[in-house]
Amino acid sequence: MKINKKTALLSIAFFILIGLTGCWSAHELSELAIATGLGIDKTEDGYRISVQFVNPGEIAAKKASSGVPISVHTAEGRSMLEAVRKLTTTAPRRVYLAHVRVIIFGEELAKEGLRKPLDFLSRDHEMRADFVIAIAKGLKAEDVIKVIAPMEKVSANKIFTSIETSEKNWAPTKIVLLDELIESLVSDGKEPVITGVYLTGNSELGGNIKNIQQVNTPTKIKSDYLAVFKGDKLIDWLDESESKGFNYITDNITSTVGFIECEGGGTLTIETIRSKTKLEGAIENEKPKIKIYVTAESNIGDVECPIDLSKSKTIKDIEKKFNEKTKDIIMSSVEKAKELGTDIYGFGEAINRSEPKKWEDLKKKWDEEFKNTEVVVKVDLKIRRVGTIAESFQEEEDQ
Amino acid sequence: MRRNMFFKNTKIKKDDWDNVTVKVDAELIPAKISEVLNNIKITMGNSTDLVTRDFKTGKDGSIDIGIAYVDGLADKVFVQDYIIQPLMTDLRMTGLDIEIEKDPNVFEVIKNFNLVSGDLKEIIDLKTLYTHLLSGDTIVLIEGYKKGFAVSSQGWQDRGIQEPTSQTVVRGPKDGFTETLRTNTSLIRRRIKNTDLWIETIPVGNKTQTDVALLYLKDVANPKIVNEVRMRINKIEIDAILESGYIEEMIQDKTFTVFPTIHNTERPDAACAAILEGKIIIMVDGTPFVLIAPAVFVEFFQSSEDYYQRADISSLLRMLRYFCLFLALITPSAYIAVTTFHQEMLPTLLLISLAAQREGVPFPALIEAVMMEVTFEILREAGVRMPRAVGSAISIVGALVLGQAAVEAGIVSATMVIIVSLTAIASFVCPSFNMAISIRILRFVFMILAATFGLFGIIMGLIMMVAHLASLRSFGVPYLSPMAPMVAADQKDVFVRVPIWKMITRPSFISQSDSRRQATPSPKPPNKSTNEGGSQGENK
């Protein structure tokens, strides 16, 4: 049979294309050990990797089972890849990293620098780059990775979702993805921050199935605080209020809660439902200057003091007080960063955007200049709703 | 080379046939009745259903008459009342002898005054005699004349018009074609009362002499396509045609394809719609399935009900069918590709859930999928072929084997059962059975592609399938029209079905002549000023 030229060319093109696809080898689902969490710690001459695998049979089982939903394997190696490959000596199946939800670095390693281990994470083709990065505050990553959490049986997933929800509703945490982290590492005008995770309770007990058999789980994973970096090295932590200030400046607030003191004692809590921050950089009199404009919309959420909300003056007062308070939160966060001498907010980038030419000179001595940068904060918060009751019945009780 | 050889062979055969038939042709009807009747008896091997009779009639019994018909094909009562009765009694009792005295040509007198039948033909040669005899006509012979009559007396038992079983509708006509060609043409004639509806009949099959009829609207159908169809049917040299499938296979454009290039239907309304679009209907005596040519790909996803329900409903259902085409084609292969190559594409929790189900399943996903698909095909085939009485046994076994036991035994995963069921249901959504089978065949090809190359294989398979579809022709009409080549005006009946009053022209890829269908203005609410009185009255 004569093959016509077109058909021949087409089939050649088809077979050449096969070589171009990234995904090559087939792996049956039952041959894979699905890794959900990765903990990276420092050893004397390399890394210690602890991987959290799911135990699919236990997770998806309809009936209550006595087995553990996750299992953790560890391996040590001079390089990341070596350690990962060494895992196969203990892991029952092929290690599959595409579904890693969280990568935790031990504080010790973070202090030494993240640049080296990050290379493998961004180079490996299997990693999906949508995992959240966190720092184990004051302990080893391994300790966090091996804790079993209630409800969310895969604790790596628990860390992911709790960082995500607290970023959205409470504000002192931040989801840092790999791309963003690397970007702020290489950028001159910005330094990275990473959310911290830590344990309450006994880390030994956390890895035991008994941990989730109690109503009040003895060992819990908490995500809080932001780790401040200079370059790729961890230097200090922002506390809750400073972390919130950080999120205000970087326009990372979706919704949060804040309170003010009332005149006659007691507190009034305000729920911010929308917030928008504009960061402007300028150079005035050869000095860098940063202007931060925060506009927010809020509701009054909780009144625990005698106050008459039906008067518009009261609302104005509250707005004013709250503006001041927010400004303080922001300023204290900025002061902390200045003290540490690390530009985590991207002030440098803001100046670069407005004065690109002058930034060229400035960036060499930015670490010093940052400490002397003038920061002006303007907060414009509007109260939109007071909730389902206007006047608080607190007044009546007091009288 | 091969082709030529093939034709050469048939040519030799054809000559042989010609030689045989020429001999029969030449033989004229002898003048003696006994000779003719004997000839018939000998030729037909004294078959038991052959009825011959000779009798004397006329005033003094001077006229010898011979009669022959086939019992079962001819209507006995008709033969008795309208052929034998007039010949035997009327010719003797009434004053016909006067006519005979006037004109000694008895043959003409009987023809003009005696045989009370509307459909009467004179025959002179034996070949025609046999054709008529075997079609149910009654042969009347008169002593001394080298010719005879063929009186139409067909009256065999047939099934009667019933609801079509293969293409059912919720709304729409419930009559279906039957096995009798004449009944079928009448079903079309009753719907299209137009002199332009032409019916051509070509006998096909050297042994069966089956009537094959072409029906088309003279002004609308493309004469080139009509000629092409006629030519291809005339080329057929076969001993027997038992179903329209025989014709379909022998006149299609390309044989090396899984896709049907000729449509078939059991519904007279669908056939009429096709005729009105300029297509040609090929009817074969002995089957309720008529062929529609030319056929394009989208036609196989159109149901006649699409035009009886409102446009919006039909459009939704039309899109659902295309969606189901994809489901039926690639669901199992997509599952194989994603679970063996692209696990990173799945949401983590779904992956864990799938992995949990695959725990303990001993086969790779491909084997698992092929196994379940084959099991389903076996069940389906058994369901079609088995005697009605054992039907429930099969469905019980099927449900248990496919549904529960296989999963519980850990041979297949529960997801795979869902995938296979979904695929099976989706493949039955296609209104045309032969297209559904094509998709079923391709599904296995896609599964193998997915297992070897992942999603890349599926995409390559789809590209090749579309390229192949684009290369197909049905009687010269591109198979993918009106999408490739793109005809903007013909998109009104492809993915959506526009309202009937918007379908102004016939599909141009089939026929360009007399293309305007209607000039109905689009429906509007009544004009306020003219209708004011009426609406006020209603309000009161």
* Domains in chain A: boundaries: 29-238, 240-399
Contact A28 B339 (CB under 8 A): yes
Question: pLDDT, tens digit, for every residue of A275-291?
Answer: 999 999 988 888 889 99
Cα(B138)–Cα(B148) distance, integer angstroms: 10
Q: Residue for token digits 């005698």?
A: A306
Rounded to the nearest integer, the mean pLDDT of chain A is 86
**Out of B344, B355, B360, whose CB is closest to A128?**
B344
Residues of A in contact with B344 (CB under 8 A): 98-99, 126, 128
Res B166: pLDDT:
86
Residues 298-327 of A with CB under 8 A from B: none
Cα(A104)–Cα(A136) distance, integer angstroms: 6
Contact A57 B453 (CB under 8 A): no
pLDDT band for A38, please (50, 70, 90 cuts). very high
Cα(A127)–Cα(A103) distance, integer angstroms: 11
Residue A56's closest chain B neighbor by CA? B356
- Residue of B256, B343, B368, B419 to mutate, testing the A interface (most A Cβ within 10 Å of its Cβ): B343
Residue A129's closest chain B neighbor by CA? B344
pLDDT tens, N- to C-terminus, chain B (540 residues): 444 444 444 444 444 444 444 444 457 888 888 888 998 999 999 899 999 988 888 777 778 889 999 999 999 999 998 888 888 887 777 666 676 677 778 888 888 878 888 888 889 888 889 989 998 899 999 888 888 899 998 888 888 899 998 888 889 999 999 999 999 999 999 999 999 999 999 999 999 989 999 999 998 999 999 999 999 999 999 999 999 999 999 999 877 899 999 999 999 999 999 999 999 999 999 999 999 989 999 999 999 999 999 999 999 999 999 999 999 999 999 999 999 988 888 888 888 888 888 888 888 899 999 998 998 888 888 888 888 888 777 778 777 777 788 888 888 888 898 999 899 999 989 899 889 999 999 999 999 999 888 898 899 899 999 999 999 999 989 999 888 888 888 888 899 999 998 888 888 888 888 888 888 888 888 887 655 544 444 444
Q: How many CA atoms lie within 13 A of A317 on its CB side?
A: 13
Which 3 state secondary structure label does DSSP give B486?
Answer: coil
Residues of A in contact with B341 (CB under 8 A): 23, 26-27
Residue B352's closest chain A neighbor by CA? A56
Residue B275: alpha-carbon gap to chain centroid: 13
The mean pLDDT value for A313-329 works out to 91
Res B284: pLDDT:
95
Residues of A in contact with B353 (CB under 8 A): 56, 59-60
- Residue of B256, B348, B408, B458 to mutate, testing the A interface (most A Cβ within 10 Å of its Cβ): B348
Contact A23 B348 (CB under 8 A): no
For chain B, report the end-to-end CA distance as a whole number of angstroms.
86
Q: Which of A331, A334, A360, A332 is nearest to A345 (CA)?
A: A334
Cα(A238)–Cα(B456) distance, integer angstroms: 48
**Residues in CB range of A363: below 8 A, 6 or more apart:** A188, A189, A348, A352
Q: What is the dihedral of CA B288, B294, B297, B301, to 10 degrees?
A: -40
Residues of B in contact with A101 (CB under 8 A): 348
Cα(B314)–Cα(B503) distance, integer angstroms: 14
Cα(A75)–Cα(A50) distance, integer angstroms: 7
Res B69: pLDDT:
93
* Topology classification of domain A240-399: GMP Synthetase; Chain A, domain 3 (3.30.300)
* Interchain contact A155–B (C-beta under 8 A): no
Contact B355 A32 (CB under 8 A): yes
Separation in Å, CA of B233 to nearest CA in chain A: 29
**For residue B360, what are its two tokens?**
């303990």
The mean pLDDT value for A147-171 works out to 85
Contact B348 A60 (CB under 8 A): no
Is the Cβ–Cβ distance between A265 and A257 less than 8 Å? Answer: no
Q: Which long-range contacts (CB under 8 A, 24 or more apart) does B377-381 make?
A: B377/B440, B380/B424
* Interchain contact A279–B (C-beta under 8 A): no
* Interchain contact A56–B (C-beta under 8 A): yes
Residues of B in contact with A126 (CB under 8 A): 344
Is the Cβ–Cβ distance between B336 and B450 less than 8 Å? Answer: yes
**For residue B338, what are its two tokens?**
């994603």
**For residue B490, what are its two tokens?**
């013909």
For chain A, report the end-to-end CA distance as a whole number of angstroms.
105
Residues of A in contact with B356 (CB under 8 A): 56-57, 59-61
Cα(B14)–Cα(B8) distance, integer angstroms: 10
Contact A28 B354 (CB under 8 A): no
Separation in Å, CA of A183 to nearest CA in chain B: 24
* Helices A240-249, A312-340: crossing angle, 10 deg rounding: 100
Res B398: pLDDT:
77
* Interchain contact A126–B (C-beta under 8 A): yes
Q: How many CA atoms lie within 13 A of B488 on its CB side?
A: 0
Across the A:B interface, residue pairs with CB atoms under 8 Å apart total 78
Residues of B in contact with A21 (CB under 8 A): 453-454, 456
**Residues in CB range of B52: below 8 A, 6 or more apart:** B37, B40, B41, B66, B67, B68
Separation in Å, CA of B423 to nearest CA in chain A: 22
Instruction: Assess whether pLDDT exceeds 70 at residue A61.
Output: no
Backbone angles phi, psi at B159, to 5 degrees: -80, -20
Question: pLDDT, tens digit, for every residue of A345-357?
Answer: 999 999 999 989 8
Residue B404, number of CB atoms within 10 A of its CB: 12
**Out of B353, B361, B455, whose CB is closest to A60?**
B353
Q: How far apart, in Å, are the Cα atoms of B422 and each of B38, B417, B429, B455? A: 66, 8, 11, 20
The helix/strand count (H/E) of chain A reads as 15, 13
Contact B355 A34 (CB under 8 A): yes
Residue B364's closest chain A neighbor by CA? A28
* Interchain contact A153–B (C-beta under 8 A): no
Question: pLDDT, tens digit, for every residue of A104-125?
Answer: 999 999 999 999 999 999 888 8
Separation in Å, CA of B414 to nearest CA in chain A: 13
Q: Residue for token digits 């009751």?
A: A389
Helix (H) or strand (E) holding B135: helix B126-135
Res B13: pLDDT:
46
* Percentage of chain A lying above the pLDDT 90 cut: 32
Q: Residue for token digits 């079993």?
A: A148
Q: Which of A157, A181, A33 is nearest to A101 (CA)?
A: A157
Q: Which residues in B have their CB inside 8 Å of a CB on A?
A: 339-344, 348-349, 351-361, 364-365, 451, 453-456, 460
Separation in Å, CA of A185 to nearest CA in chain B: 27
